[in-house]
Amino acid sequence: MDILWLCVFAVLLVGYFALEGPDIGAGMLLLFLGNTPRDRDEIVAAMAPFVLAGEVWLVAVAGVLFGAFPAAEGEVLFGLYPLVISLLVSWIVRDAGLWFRRRADGSAWREGWTAAVCAGSWGLALSWGMALVAMARGLDEPVIVLPGLAGGLVLAALLAFHGWTFLSWRLPGRMTGARRSGWALLASGAAAAAPAAVLLAAFAPWLLERTASAGALGVLSVIILPFAPVMVGAQVWTWRTFGPRRAADRVPSFF
Amino acid sequence: MDVLDLARTQFAVTGSLHFLFVVLTLGLAPLIAIMHTRYAVTGRPDHERATRFWGQLYVINYALGIFTGLVMEFQFGLNWSGLSHYAGDVFGAPLAIETLGAFFLESTFLGLWIFGWHRLPTWLHVGCIWVVALTAYASALWIMMANSFLQNPAGAVPRDGHLVLTDPGALLANPALTMALPHVLGAGLWAGGFVLMGASAYQLFRRTSEREFFTGSLRTGVVVALVGSLITVGFGYAQFGAISAFQPGKFDDGGAAGLGLGFMILIGQPLQLVILFVLTPLVYWLPRWRWVQPVLMAITPLPFAAAILGWLARENGRQPWMINGRLTVADAMSPGLTPAMVTGSFVAFTGVLLLLAIVDYVLIARTVRRGPAAVTLGEPAPADPHERAHALSH
């Protein structure tokens, strides 16, 4: 049972980087690839339908950490305290940019929130990279250090590449000038998720020492696993519905 | 303030902000689902406009529900790791189920609903908003179950210095949950009904060109508020018996819990009577009597204020316990939490969230003011290329 929940945790964490990674990456590139307001609207419209379905993977990661590995939850989040704050604030700023940028008129309003999307996405990527390095170094060490910043930049590069591939797949020949297949997107997703996956593999024994009781895991399994097909199905449906070969985007989109 | 006070205040501010937005989400979600279903059945444009207008209001409100909810979820690990350390085996289960079995689906299907206009087949699109409404209610169930465990730790026994889950059924049958859940869901309908009523009253008072639209929604709002207020007040009083069994004297000491409860009843009880004996009998005339509409606007925030007061009463009445009788709030605080850490997170979270909450309310007000003609949710793509170019230039 504890192996099953370790697998669920791994799927959710990898799923987060592979499926929310494109939104973070595209957000990072928003001000660099989008030269005109119209370009920026087009990039946002390309990523918008995936954001709600993507970010929820991290909410689920935290939920499983709490429910299935309660002794690890406090240790990890408290150990990474300043990075968790910057991650959350970046996430909220990015989301606020998306939800608010088209809710009022005026270019200052729109460009301000567009910049918030870009800054928040960078904050997310750097916070994640620094958090992964901090985990690897051990939670007793200080978390804001030079190697952490280097790790942040590496992960930012991987996520930006994933975002670039996503835009080349979603808007072929448009913003990036390139065309990429779904397979290329899968590969860049694997690259974006690789650091977290490697770290998780190293941490697997540590996590398994911190599982909830067999009774609690049993309750989680009985209640959650019947929903798993619906959860996966809804994700597949999202990616099929808003994939590149469907109807053209409405630009600007709701976001 | 010391570290403990700061951490508690941070939780109180973010939690209150969270519920301020979530209570409206809970109230509006089923209403939007019903509106969308009526549109799908009849195909009438007025039902489509109602779905999109109130749906946009719902979606804007939803944003802050997410932002504050993220902080709530992670705050447990940041400031209160003693809770997961001592009781994660029990308390973590409903939270994990909420994220996976409820919020995961709610968020995914909300994305499909927002961006699925003119793309998804009608009935699948309607199905999406029903999943959103059902999972919102499921979220309320799991979160209330977790909170009820803190009020009355049923179904768990201490073993080796930790609480271990022994009876999952007792979590569900917890008397702290059974009456409080309908109380909270009723408060959601009350708040949702009042927002329909207040927004419609504003438009009618301004002599809107959308008379028919807002006449209907004002009446709907009053009826929904009637249903919500009866549920809220009925299940509110019904809780006292249960509470006296596991938290005797909860409201006795004249502290924040007693004050919260007192002011909540001071708002809620007369307001329920006004809805029952004044607004409901006059519901046919309210859209026509312009003089009464400013009053309707003025009372719109009251169920929100009562909801926050109710939470303050419930949570403060648990002091000094985090888990009633088992773990104190002081012991639940993360060991090693420094004033610098908690001050930093307090400033960052409450600063950002308060600012965004204000922006969000301004945007909701703007949506109401501009009316159904200006709604962008589910707007059809401009067909004419010239019009499209014009739309893009904005």
- Inform me whether the pLDDT recorded for B150 exceeds 90: yes
Q: Return d(Cα B167, Cα B164) in angstroms, integer.
A: 9
Those of residues 34-63 in A touching chain B at CB distance below 8 A are 38, 41, 48-53, 55-56, 59-60, 62-63
Tell me the sheet residues that pair with B327.
Answer: B323
Phi, psi of B218, deg, nearest 5: -65, -45
Q: Is B76 on the interface with A (CB under 8 A)?
A: yes
Of B108, B115, B166, the CB nearest to A242: B115
Residue A125 corresponds to which tokens in the numbers above? Answer: 């990527």
Residue B51 corresponds to which tokens in the numbers above? Answer: 């779905």
| Interface contacts (A, B; CB < 8 Å) | 218
Q: What is the pLDDT of residues B342-374, one digit of tens each?
A: 999 999 999 999 999 999 999 999 999 999 999
Residue A139 has a pLDDT of 87
Handedness of CA B73, B80, A195, A32 (dihedral sign): positive
Q: What is the pLDDT of residues B17-65, one digit of tens each?
A: 999 999 999 999 999 999 999 999 999 999 999 999 999 999 999 999 9
Task: Give domain status of residue A254, yes or no.
Answer: no
Our CA-based measurement puts residue B234 at a distance from the nearest CA of chain A, in whole angstroms, of: 31
Contact B95 A63 (CB under 8 A): yes
Those of residues 83-112 in A touching chain B at CB distance below 8 A are 84-85, 88-89, 91-93, 95-96, 99-100, 102-105
Q: What is the pLDDT of residues B194-247, one digit of tens each?
A: 999 999 999 999 999 999 999 999 999 999 999 999 999 999 999 999 999 999
Residue A249 has a pLDDT of 73
Task: Give domain status of residue A250, yes or no.
Answer: no
Task: Give domain status of residue A170, yes or no.
Answer: yes
Task: Give domain status of residue A90, yes or no.
Answer: yes
Q: Is B340 on the interface with A (CB under 8 A)?
A: no
Tell me what the mean pLDDT of segment B314-335 comes to.
94
What's the domain range around A144? 2-241
DSSP E strand stretches across chain B: 156-159, 162-165, 321-323, 327-328
Of A48, A68, A105, the CB nearest to B96: A68
Contact yes or no for A84/B41 (Cβ under 8 A)? no
Contact A104 B363 (CB under 8 A): yes
Task: Give domain status of residue A253, yes or no.
Answer: no
Tell me what the mean pLDDT of segment A242-251 comes to.
78
If pLDDT is split at 50, 70 and 90, which confidence band does A247 have? Answer: low
Domain count, chain A: 1
Q: Return d(Cα A233, Cα A104) in angstroms, integer.
A: 35
Residue B253 has a pLDDT of 75
Residues in chain A closer than 8 A to B78 (CB atoms): 77-78, 81, 84-85
Task: Give domain status of residue A251, yes or no.
Answer: no
Chain B residue whose CA is closest to A91: B67
Task: Give domain status of residue A135, yes or no.
Answer: yes
Chain A residue whose CA is closest to B393: A38
- Inform me whether the pLDDT recorded for A114 exceeds 80: yes
Q: What is the DSSP letter of A116?
A: H
Residues in chain A closer than 8 A to B101 (CB atoms): 223-224, 227
Q: What is the pLDDT of residues A212-224, one digit of tens each?
A: 999 999 999 999 9
Residue B382 has a pLDDT of 67
Task: Give domain status of residue A255, yes or no.
Answer: no
Tell me the CA distances in angstroms from A173 to A30, A163, A177, B69, one per residue in order. 16, 15, 4, 38
| Crossing angle of the two packed helices A37-68 and A146-170, in degrees rounded to 10 | 120
- Inform me whether the pLDDT recorded for B388 exceeds 60: no
Residue B292 corresponds to which tokens in the numbers above? Answer: 């009464």
Contact A231 B105 (CB under 8 A): yes
Write down the pTM of the prediction.
0.95
Q: Is A209 on the interface with B (CB under 8 A)?
A: no
Q: What is the pLDDT of residues B62-93, one digit of tens each?
A: 999 999 999 999 999 999 999 999 999 999 99
